[in-house]
Amino acid sequence: MAENEAEADRTPDGVHVGLDDGLVKEVEIALDEDDALLVAALCEPLHPADLADLLQLVPPDQRTRIIGALGEAFDVETFSYLDDVVREDLVRALGPDGASALIKELETDDALEILADLDDEEKAAILASLPLPERTALQRGLAYPDYSAGRLMQREVVAVPDYWVVGQTIDYLRAKADLPDDFYDIYIVDPRFVPVGSVPLSNILRSRRNTPMRELRMKELHTVPATMDQEEVAFLFRQYGLVSVPVVDEEDRLLGAVTIDDAVDVMHEEAEEDFLKLGGVQETDLYQTPVRTMVQRMPWLVVNLGTAIVASLVIAQFEGAIAQIVALAVLMPIVASMGGNAGTQTLTVTVRSLAVRELTTTNAWRMLGKEFLVSLMNGAIFIAIGFFLAVFWFDDLQLAAVFGVALLINLLAAGVAGIAIPLVIDRLGLDPAVSSGVFLTTVTDVVGFFAFLGLAGYFLF
């Protein structure tokens, strides 16, 4: 903590980069000693984002104790920074009354996120306990599809008619009571409330009072329909470097705005999802109970068992050959494993390129050709390495030749399958990140075992 104090001395408001591990330990010790005052004193100065991290780091039963110790000093905004699983548990622990009190204090988009986690019954109970205006706003939000722009947006926006000048806009902002907490752009709307332009606040501040607002608008206006998928919305922010985007209804009228902080959260979630899927995990399960973690991971393992059995069936066809030359059993996992790894490399690049839209129908054939070339070069190298390895190990030229050729064949199959499988899955409208891996290893195992044992059966007997 001494270091933190030194930092705090340097600038009046302190420098914080995330949560301090030492602090977490101090809180845990204070909890062990049941010293609620110390817990509160340690946690109160934390930013809600850091407090959320702290709650996630400690065991589940300590979470409610920390919130209890903080009492009135607990910032409800902390909830919007929590992982879904942890948040759901905590909301349940609060009970229906606590949950409605919480929802009332949060902004619409954060409240919606919490409600969306709950069962229909719990949702209905909480909604019923809210005053009419809040209830209506939330029900309208819940009517948009999950993961849509409508769910992400905040309803409070600043919109002005296009005949206004800068002075009028500034006077309006100074007088208006219910401005959004954070906003970066002012939207120009036509008489039907359709956005026709977006003006960054910096453009207003650098212009004289009599400048017409329409002169300050950006060259391009990006609007998103309320039903647009959040991944598309995030793509828009990243592609064009936006900080806010107006959300419109089916008749193009302004409904609200999505701001960059929400878009950043979506990017983070989507990146996490893609990463986990590549490793055969469906969602973040760090905070899940062991039983639920097991249940969620099981389907992938069962599918993998199936593909492993398919590969073993290929081996079973060549039992006779293996019984005579046991070296085949020793070398065959190498052929399969090399194919699997080379294929995974290609697959990884392909899945990522599809996700960020850098691989499309336009360049797919060219990239397939490239991967084939890469595999051919890899194959040429490993046919040599494999040959010498096998000669050195088993002192059998024919076996070594068969091993090298099998490696080449499997590397070629791996390269082509690594790009073709995700492309086909993507074309079918499915998510290539989820299932490509299973198909790929099935291909590389089956081709690997079949090529090696088949060639051995043909040439060595």
Q: What is the CA radius of gyration of the chain?
A: 30
CB of 272 to a second copy, least distance (A): 6
Residue 120 binds a second copy, judged by CB under 8 A: no
Work out which of 101, 130, 137, 389 binds a second copy, going by CB under 8 A: 389
Work out which of 187, 382, 450, 452 binds a second copy, going by CB under 8 A: 382
Residue 370 binds a second copy, judged by CB under 8 A: yes
Residue 195 binds a second copy, judged by CB under 8 A: yes
Site string for a second copy, 257-296 (x = CB under 8 A): ---xx--xx-xx--xx-xxx-xxxx--xxx---xx-xx--
Site string for a second copy, 64-83 (x = CB under 8 A): -------------------x
Cα separation, 78 vs 47, in Å, equals 8
- Which of the stretches 54-62, 64-72, 112-120, 121-129 binds a second copy when contact is defined by CB under 8 A? 54-62
Site string for a second copy, 148-187 (x = CB under 8 A): ----------------------x--xx-x--xx-xxx---
DSSP assignment of 311-369 equals HHHHHHTTHHHHHH-THHHHHHHHHHHHHHHHHHHHHHHHHHHHHTT-S-TTTHHHHHH
Work out which of 2, 205, 210, 428 binds a second copy, going by CB under 8 A: 205
Cα separation, 251 vs 238, in Å, equals 26
Cα separation, 404 vs 414, in Å, equals 15
CB of 2 to a second copy, least distance (A): 19
Residue 15 binds a second copy, judged by CB under 8 A: yes
CB of 124 to a second copy, least distance (A): 31
The residue count for binding a second copy (CB under 8 A) is 139
User: Element (H or E) spanning 201, and its range?
Assistant: helix 201-205
CB of 128 to a second copy, least distance (A): 32
Longest dimension (CA), the chain: 94
Residue 201 binds a second copy, judged by CB under 8 A: yes
CB of 357 to a second copy, least distance (A): 6
> Is residue 311 packed enough to be buried (19+ CB in 10 Å), middle (13-18) or exposed (0-12)?
buried
Site string for a second copy, 306-345 (x = CB under 8 A): -xxx-xx--xx--x--xx--xxxxxxxxx-xxx--xx-xx
Cα separation, 194 vs 238, in Å, equals 24
Return the percent helix, strand and coil in the chain, to nearest 5: 70, 5, 25
Structure tokens at 69: 């110790």
